[in-house]
Amino acid sequence: MKKILIVFALLINLLLLNSTFATEVDESIYFDAKSSSLGFTFVTLDSEGETYFFNPATLSLKKFSYFSLTFDNLTDNPNLKLSYFYPSTTIYSITADLILDKNTKEYSLKNIRGAIAFPLTSYIYLGTSAMYLEEENLIKGDIGLMVKIGDFLRTGIVGEGFTIEKISDQVYKITLALRYNIGLSFSLFNNSTNIYLDLIDVENFSNTKDWSLIRFGIEQKLGNILVIRIGSKGDITNLANYTFGLGINLNRFSLSISAFSENIENSDTSLENIKLKYKLTGTLRF
């Protein structure tokens, strides 16, 4: 346990040292292609890229060291998300955004973030993630817990949005998680069919019974190479909430693509007003 605490302290120091590169961005761009094609689920998902940040306990599902790269068209400037995963007794990951400024034609590293996860027992895993927000001068992260029940069922809970703010040289303010999310996933037919279900903001749901806070995703493997995915990021009666994707697995290399609509502020969600966005995530296993 001492080793884990030391590693986490070093991670926090790394984030602070790189504060000149960090800035706050919309959290919606932190999902990789696999997650965004499965309704932006994340609580129990073995994601391929940067989605691990939302529930770092899912890092315990990593079996190999690998590098991932995600590209999307969500922002005006080209943005690549680079992630590295190293599974051992304790699993580590680190991610950074490589952004091209269209005006200066210069690249910069921003939003450096990372996480660690470790087993509490042979089937219960704990993880924590962190990122430094320069504009707010604080560290923000999530704490996640995941339970594996056999090879077919996983459940988890995430405390999202805890903060550590430096008040003075020796005084720090710690704020607990802003909201809690829970999730459940099933693996059926020898792991060829996977179903994911997340409830976002448990307290809000208990007060409002707002069913749009529920996300789901279904993944179907067609042999050893092709995977098809579909999901919903909210109200299933709204076509704009549906997400789609494909995955291709080729030995040490995999590629996923997702398509989804951008968030629409007005009530007009007819097909002609839906603007499609996409993500591409590629991974290379070592």
DSSP 50-73: GGGGT-GGGGGG--S-EEEEEEES
Reduced DSSP (H G I as helix, E B as strand, rest coil) percent helix, strand, coil of the chain, to 5? 20, 50, 30
With a CB cutoff of 8 Å and minimum separation 6, the contacts of 5 are none
Mean pLDDT, to the nearest integer, of 206-231? Answer: 96
Taking residue 277's Cβ as centre, other Cβ atoms within 10 Å add up to 17
The confidence score (pLDDT) of residue 222 equals 96
The confidence score (pLDDT) of residue 5 equals 41
Q: How far apart are CA 81 and CA 221, in angstroms?
A: 26
What pTM was estimated for this model as a whole?
Answer: 0.86
- Res 19 pLDDT > 50: no
The confidence score (pLDDT) of residue 14 equals 38
Mean pLDDT, to the nearest integer, of 143-164? Answer: 94
Mean pLDDT, to the nearest integer, of 257-279? Answer: 73
Instruction: Grade residue 270 by pLDDT with cuts at 50, 70 and 90.
Output: low
Rg (CA), the chain: 19
What's the token pair of residue 32?
Answer: 């990789």
Q: What angle do CA 271, 71, 30 make, to 5 degrees?
A: 80
**Over the stretch 41-92, which tens digit does the pLDDT of each residue have?**
999 999 999 999 999 999 999 999 999 999 988 877 778 999 999 998 899 9
The confidence score (pLDDT) of residue 27 equals 59
- Lowest pLDDT segment from 59-63, 237-241, 281-285: 237-241
The number of C-alpha atoms within 13 Å of 221 and in the hemisphere containing its C-beta is 12
- Lowest pLDDT segment from 58-62, 104-108, 265-269: 265-269
- Res 132 pLDDT > 80: yes
